[in-house]
Structure 1
Amino acid sequence: MKVSAASLDDIPAQVAKTTGKVSGIVIDDTAVTPKYVVGLDPARELAIIYQIAKKSLFNKLLILSPAALVLGYFAPWAITPILMLGGAYLCFEGYEKVHSLFSKHPEVQPESEQMQAITPEELEKERVAGAVRTDIILSAEIMAIAYSQVAKSALVNQIIVMLAVAVFITVAVYGFVGLIVKADDIGLHLAENTDSPATQKFGRGIVKFMPHFLRILSYVGTAAMLWVGAEIIAHGIPFTSHLLDDLEQALASLPAVAWLAKALACGIGGLALGFLIDQIVRLVKKVMPGQKEG
């Protein structure tokens, strides 16, 4: 009984440690989600975020967590390759986002024109489906990393920690996303419906600041995608894992510089890997019949 109680007492610490380990992916998830409600009816924003959050939690609790536990028991060797595949996908997506910032495709219709071709209901379903596809990759990474942190713990601890991480991260991410997308409405309400000049000024400041904040957040999300994806892959390869460890140890006296150097190295590596994957995808599309280069 004493051993069990002590083991259960460790759960909050394990949840906190695991949450810290997946912080980069959480930043990425938080940064990429707001774009899925851009251009839609503001009255539907929270409902759309709720749909995404509900499906994200369902995937974490009923698909990804059990899958990680089963793989961890029967085929623990498969977890690292799966993580690395997910990391490669993040690098590819990150590179695509960076590439789109520096290239123009005049043959592609502006998004506003594309929106006119489908009904608002169809667009909403399309956006939710796209958000869930991206989220399931990030959620799979989160739950696999969560399992790796408790792999040597008792089964009960593994289950409790993974479920707690799934619920906590989903609520935190989508709660914050909901606050972000409604911040301009809050600012507008403060600016128009209060008698205090200071409050009105604060509300107008929120309205003016949010477009810049969302733009910065999208850049942070892209950077986090490259950094997290490359770090996952690097830790799956002994040589590159040792290189990252050596880099951290060399700058151990300057923790902030060590973190920045590691993130920068992973970001550059992720961008290079994303470029390589993009070239492979383009080559496959050229050689496969019926495929067109995107």
Structure 2
Amino acid sequence: MASGLLALLDDVSALVKVSAASLDDVPAQVAKTTGKVSGIVIDDTAVTPKYVVGLDPARELSIILQIAKKSLLNKVLLLSPAALLLGFFAPWAITPILMLGGAYLCFEGYEKVHSMFSKHHDITPDESTEIKVITPAELEKERVTGAVRTDLILSAEIVAITYSTVAETALLNQIVVMLAVAIFITVAVYGFVGLIVKADDLGIHLAKNSNQTQVQKLGRGIVTFMPHFLKILSYIGTAAMLWVGFEIIAHGIPFTSHLLHELEESLHNVPALAWFLKALACGLSGLVLGFIIEKIVSLFRKKA
């Protein structure tokens, strides 16, 4: 009996040592994963500010906090457990699910491009129109919902990449790394977004409250620059939807994944050009795919 208990204690001790050794690698694994998902993190950062543009400035940080909370909850309570379960029971299902998310990003990106360039004709008195009246609270809720929906897809890609880097490690290690990455990336993305959307307030503060001419000039420059910057960032965010959306799909298809790999290999001596051409190819392909999906969706809407 005693020998059996000692053997059990030895097994527990060995397990603890293995787990501890594995957890020692967590910072390195988090850093490695963060590097792999840096492109998606940049896209997420570029996409989010457009959801608060045009809303009450006093509500901007509150809206970003709402989105950040829901993003973190999605990563921790929905996406990470789903990745662990799928990785154990049905690893083949992860790629198709991500590809569906990529298709949605292409569709949403195309709709935004179409709305930018479509000509809005004047409404004649003979046309029957119904103008939808929406309150600021309803608009805020709509923006938050749209931001969380887009973030969910980008977060799913982040979680999937994180899982792929720790899939061969112990379960405890997988959980700790995925939790650490979820918290770190959420704080980094939405912290930076908060700084972006409140930069104009900082500019006003510097322009009004500083006694130094150069600081006042800097403050006025920030205030003047930020609306243009946010507009450019909105365009970048839309382009990022198309780029990331199609790249997710492309990596799920051996043929297109091979083509992208060949493109990068052919220009490995000029990595910046390889990155640009890859992003351009994915962005344009995502636009075409989004157009096709939009036509299919419109066809089903008409039938309904």
TM-score w.r.t. the length of structure 2 is: 0.87
Residue 291 (structure 1) aligns with: none
Say whether 1:165 aligns with 2:168: no
* 8 A Cα contact 2:246 2:282, kept in partner: yes
Q: Quote the residue 2:37 is aligned against.
A: 22
Residue 269 of structure 2 corresponds to residue 253 of structure 1: yes
Aligned partner of 1:94 in structure 2 is 109
**Cα distance in 1, alignment partners of residues 281 and 33 from structure 2:** 23
After TM superposition, give the deviation of residue 273 of structure 1 in Å. Answer: 1.1
Query: Which AA in structure 2 matches 1:189?
Result: H
**Identity in percent:** 78
Aligned to 1:71: 86
Q: Which amino acid aligns with 1:42?
A: P
| Correspondences of 1:144-293 after superposition (within 5 Å) | 144-288=160-304
C-alpha distance 122-287 of structure 1, shift in aligned 2 (>3 A): closer
Which amino acid is 2:31 matched to?
A: A
SS of equivalent to 1:118: coil
Query: Does the CA contact (< 8 Å) of 1:24 and 1:224 recur in 2?
Result: no
Paired position in structure 1 for 2:8:
none
Question: 1:83 maps to which residue?
Answer: 98
TM superposition shift of 1:278? 1.2
Code of the aligned partner of 1:225: M
8 Å CA contact 1:57–1:166 kept in 2: the answer is yes
Mean Cα deviation higher: 5-14 or 249-258:
5-14
Q: What RMSD, in angstroms, separates the aligned Cα atoms of the two structures?
A: 2.0
* Cα displacement string for residues 55-89 of structure 1 (whole angstroms, at most 9, x for unaligned residues): 11111111111111111111100000011111111
Question: In 2, distance between residues paired with 1:13 and 1:273?
Answer: 37
Equivalent in the alignment of 2:76? 61
1:7 aligns with 2:34: no
| Residues in 1 aligned to 2:264 and 2:121: alpha-carbon distance in whole angstroms | 44
Write the distance in 2 (CA, Å) between the matches of 1:32 and 1:18: 21
- The alpha-carbon deviation at position 115 of structure 1 amounts to 11
The CA deviation at 1:238 is 0.9
For structure 2, which runs of at least 5 residues remain unmatched after alignment?
1-15, 124-129
Q: TM-score, normalised by structure 1?
A: 0.90
* CA distance in 1: counterparts of 2:141 and 2:269, whole angstroms: 50
Partner of 1:118: 134
SS in 1 for 2:198: helix
Task: Give the Å deviation of 1:107.
Answer: 7.0
Tell me how far apart the structure 1 counterparts of residues 135 and 272 of structure 2 sit (CA, whole Å).
48
Counterpart code for 1:88:
A
Choose 1 or 2 for highest CA Rg. Answer: 2
**Matched-pair contact (CA < 8 Å) for 1:115–1:123:** no
1:158-198 Cα shifts (integer Å, max 9, x gaps): 11111111101110111011111110010001001110000
CA separation in 2, counterparts of 1:152 and 1:129?
35
> Which residue of structure 1 lines up, in the alignment, with residue 153 of structure 2?
137
The Cα offsets for residues 200-230 of structure 1, whole Å up to 9 and x where unpaired, read as 0000010011011111111211221111111
Q: Could you give the per-residue CA deviations for residues 225-252 of structure 1, whole angstroms, max 9, x where no partner exists?
A: 1111111111111111111111111111
- Listed as ranges, the gaps of 5+ residues in structure 1 are 109-113, 289-294
